[in-house]
A and B are shown apart, each in its own frame.
Chain A
Amino acid sequence: MRASLKHLMPRLLLYILVVIIVVWTIAPYLWLIISSFSSKLDLLTVPLRWIPSRPTLENYRSLFFEYGGESVNVRLFIKSLTNSVIISLSTMGIATILGVLAAYAIARLRFRGNQGMILTMMSIQLIPPIILVIPLYMIMRQAKLLDTHLGLIIVDLSIALPLVIWLMRSYFASIPSELEDAARIDGCTYLDALFRIVLPLSGPGLVSVMIFAFIASWNEYLYAFIYTNINAKTLPVLIGEFSTKLGLEYLKIAAAGVLASLPPVFLALIFQRFIIRGLTAGAIK
């Protein structure tokens, strides 16, 4: 009896700690979700009613169907959502294509400048965007790229591309090169080897860099905030505007926040194995 109690106590403590961790991790987000389904009446009562008495979709409906402001006759939310989708998918596609080619060269080809490229990629990821934001603004203003999709895609590449190259390089390095060596003896070129042997083996790596690139671009705020205005305004910028300008529209902000977080959160949860491998690849290998 005493022995089993002695055995039980650490287990109990462990489960208490796990519960605390789970609550700490999901409680704030859960509150955002609950708020987004609540009506003002429920949230304004004191003491606060934690579970809405009458859950409603009104906050979501108003996001999708109400027109923005007096001056702008567009459905702001739908417009920003579309912009975010276009910009994130394009950034993801371009960064993946350019990044995979460069990463293969860095991982497998011994060429002059190889080491320099590795160092460049690593350093770039540490450059604070705030130092780039001012000169890029002036360049984009001159090139008439402010408030355009293309402009923001190009700028987002500065984040996504080094990330893709860095992760893909470490992924390629983890694939044994024997198969390629054998293929090369049989007369395959490096490019044949890349497309016929390495890439088909790189599915998980490709998925993970694509998700990383997508999330990086989807979540990006500072550049979008400064470089876009109406035409190319992304969802994060719209949410920022909601939460700094509007008075008592918290519930609408909550609904927009939930919707904006769904794509990255779902992708990350579904592909968490790849994400975790990617996150640790940079730091542990």
Chain B
Amino acid sequence: MPGHLVPRSTRVSTLTMQIRSRSRSLADNPQLLGLLLTLPALIAILAVVLIPIFSSFLLSLQQKDLSRPQYDAFIGFKNYLTLLRDSRYLNSLWVTFRFSLTSVILEVILGVSIALVLNQRFVGRGFVRGLMILPWAMPSIVNAAMWKWIYNADYGALNALLTQLHLIDSYRVWLADPTWATILIILANVWKETPFTVILVLAALQAIPEDLYEAARVDGASAWRSFWHITLPLISPVLMVAAMLQFIWGFQTFELVYVTTGGGPFSTTELTTLRIYATTFRSLRFGYGAAMAYLTSLVILIPAVFYVRSAYRRVVEM
């Protein structure tokens, strides 16, 4: 606590020094200065996050259709009750859940596998590790456009590759098939998001002391056993955080699906974000859209709170 280290007696009480000390006291008073330094950021966050969240909730309690303003009214929780019977919304919720969960499972398995390989010694290791950052840094809209181009039915690389390998006889319209569309958007998402898990797991792997493995080897443990009993327990906290974050991000995915399938075929890839967008900005039902956004966020809030609590505990410990 640096504030306690300054002896109060150093303040000299001549007149000039008093004036000086008053202007200094602002820069020296932790309470005042703390608030002052955080104030601009706080105002910005208040304006773009906290106020909108609150007004969004109020909006969700209203009937507010921009196309039919004469029916605008406060209707309490009616929007939410309607939502629970809105089959298209419930479908989108299920689609999103399936998309996020499958993505996370694949990202964890692939992420850990890749990290384990990249943690070995081999020529060019630094370069290959550096490559991991490429999908992460790419704009997600470019990722979406790129995979759409690869999946293209007439000229896409996927069709070309599979026919040249003789795995399929003729070109297919991949994204027109409900099952394939679901699988392929998950694949596109996993390609972009896995490196995040790799980077986190690699950092965790490097923090494991080599002696642990040494000791296990002396005891005659196989590589498989040391993975289950040493590696996995030690990387699991990091893995939990990565999985949680990516599950939450899965619920926020928009452009990938908007560009590749537009939610089709037959709403099989329609994520809630697309449904909210269509309801609000296409049908102009702002109240109903806000309720939809709120209800969906509640679903994500459960893992989010879990994450914040565990992360917060670590911060406070520091």
A231 and B27 alpha carbons, distance in the complex (Å): 42
**Distance in Å: Cβ of A38 to nearest Cβ of chain B:** 10
Given contacts A15-B122, A189-B27, contact A132 B49 (CB under 8 A): yes
Q: Are B135 and A132 in contact (CB under 8 A)?
A: no
The reply to whether the CB of B167 lies closer than 8 angstroms to some CB of chain A is no
Q: Are A221 and B199 in contact (CB under 8 A)?
A: no
Given contacts A32-B146, A190-B33, contact A264 B118 (CB under 8 A): no
**Distance in Å: Cβ of A216 to nearest Cβ of chain B:** 11
Q: Are A28 and B191 in contact (CB under 8 A)?
A: yes
Given contacts A14-B122, A244-B259, A265-B134, contact A118 B30 (CB under 8 A): no
From B145, B148, B286, name the one whose CB has the most chain A CB atoms within 10 angstroms: B145
Q: Are A184 and B24 in contact (CB under 8 A)?
A: no
Interface residues of B in 298-312 (CB under 8 A from A): 300, 304, 307-308, 311-312
The reply to whether the CB of B131 lies closer than 8 angstroms to some CB of chain A is yes
Partner of A134, one of B56, B144, B241: B56
Given contacts A25-B134, A135-B55, A264-B137, contact A161 B44 (CB under 8 A): yes
Given contacts A22-B128, A128-B300, A132-B53, contact A222 B191 (CB under 8 A): no
Instruction: Report B-chain residues with C-beta under 8 Å of the C-beta of A276.
Output: 133, 199, 203
Q: Which of A51-59, A65-73, A119-127 participates in binding chain B?
A: A119-127
B interface residue count range (under 10 / 10 to 19 / 20 to 34 / 35 or more): 35 or more
Instruction: Report B-chain residues with C-beta under 8 Å of the C-beta of A124.
Output: 45, 49
Interface residues of A in 125-170 (CB under 8 A from B): 126-139, 154-155, 157-158, 161-162, 165
**Cβ proximity bits B152-191 to A, threshold 8 Å, 1 near / 0 not:** 1001010010011000000100000000000000000001
**Distance in Å: Cβ of B244 to nearest Cβ of chain A:** 9
A93 and B49 alpha carbons, distance in the complex (Å): 20
Instruction: Report B-chain residues with C-beta under 8 Å of the C-beta of A268.
Output: 133-134, 136-137
Instruction: Report A-chain residues with C-beta under 8 Å of the C-beta of B259.
Output: 240, 243-244
Interface residues of B in 231-272 (CB under 8 A from A): 238, 241-242, 245, 248, 251-252, 254-255, 258-259, 262, 272
From A24, A111, A215, name the one whose CB has the most chain B CB atoms within 10 angstroms: A111
Instruction: Report A-chain residues with C-beta under 8 Å of the C-beta of B51.
Output: 135, 139
**Distance in Å: Cβ of B80 to nearest Cβ of chain A:** 14
The reply to whether the CB of B81 lies closer than 8 angstroms to some CB of chain A is no
Partner of A25, one of B10, B49, B132, B200: B132
A166 and B133 alpha carbons, distance in the complex (Å): 21
Interface residues of B in 175-216 (CB under 8 A from A): 191, 195-196, 199-200, 203-204, 207
A123 and B49 alpha carbons, distance in the complex (Å): 11
Residues of B contacting A: mostly: helix
The reply to whether the CB of B16 lies closer than 8 angstroms to some CB of chain A is no
Interface residues of B in 48-62 (CB under 8 A from A): 48-49, 51-53, 55-56, 59
Partner of B164, one of A47, A98, A114, A135: A47
Instruction: Report B-chain residues with C-beta under 8 Å of the C-beta of A44.
Output: 155
Partner of B308, one of A117, A126, A189: A126
A31 and B155 alpha carbons, distance in the complex (Å): 12
| Residues of B bordering A, CB below 8 Å | 1-3, 5-6, 10, 24, 27-28, 30-38, 40-42, 44-45, 47-49, 51-53, 55-56, 59, 114, 117-118, 120, 122, 124, 128, 130-142, 144-150, 152, 155, 157, 160, 163-164, 171, 191, 195-196, 199-200, 203-204, 207, 238, 241-242, 245, 248, 251-252, 254-255, 258-259, 262, 272-273, 276-277, 280-281, 286, 289-290, 293-294, 296-297, 300, 304, 307-308, 311-312, 314-316, 318
A–B Cβ pairs within 8 angstroms, 28 of them: A32-B149, A35-B149, A46-B171, A98-B40, A101-B41, A113-B38, A120-B45, A122-B315, A131-B53, A133-B293, A134-B276, A134-B286, A135-B51, A158-B45, A162-B45, A165-B41, A215-B137, A218-B139, A240-B141, A243-B145, A243-B259, A253-B145, A254-B146, A264-B137, A268-B133, A268-B136, A283-B200, A284-B200
- 8 tightest Cβ-Cβ pairs between the two chains A and B: A111-B34, A48-B160, A268-B137, A189-B27, A105-B37, A135-B52, A102-B41, A158-B48
